[in-house]
Amino acid sequence: MNETENLAERAIDLQELLTSQQTLLLSTASTSCVPDLSYAPFVRDQAGCFYIFVSELAGHTANLLNNPQASVMFIRSESESRNLFARERAVFNCRVKELERDETTYTTQLLAMQDKFGEVVSILRSLSDFHLFALCPESGRYVAGFGRAYTINVEDGTLSPFAKKQD
Domain contains 46: yes
Calculate ∠ Cα 38-40-45, nearest 5°.
Answer: 135
Please compute the mean of the pLDDT values over residues 102-128 and round it to a whole number: 90
Q: Which pLDDT score, from 0 to 100, does residue 122 have?
A: 83
Domain contains 140: yes
The number of folded domains in the chain is 1
39 pLDDT more than 70? yes
Domain contains 165: no
* Structural domain of 29: 3-155
Give the mean pLDDT of the chain: 92
In the chain, which residue ranges form alpha helices assigned H by DSSP?
3-19, 59-66, 104-117, 120-125
CATH code of the domain containing 117: 2.30.110.10
43 pLDDT more than 80? yes
Q: Which pLDDT score, from 0 to 100, does residue 1 have?
A: 45
CA Rg value for the chain: 17
Residue 8 buriedness (CB in 10 A; 0-12 / 13-18 / 19+): middle
Domain contains 16: yes
38 pLDDT more than 90? yes
Q: Which pLDDT score, from 0 to 100, does residue 4 have?
A: 60
70 pLDDT more than 90? yes
Q: Residue 4: how many CB atoms within 10 A of its CB?
A: 9
28 pLDDT more than 90? yes
Domain contains 51: yes
6 pLDDT more than 50? yes
Q: What is the pTM of this model?
A: 0.91
Domain contains 163: no
Q: Are 111 and 121 in contact (CB under 8 A)?
A: no
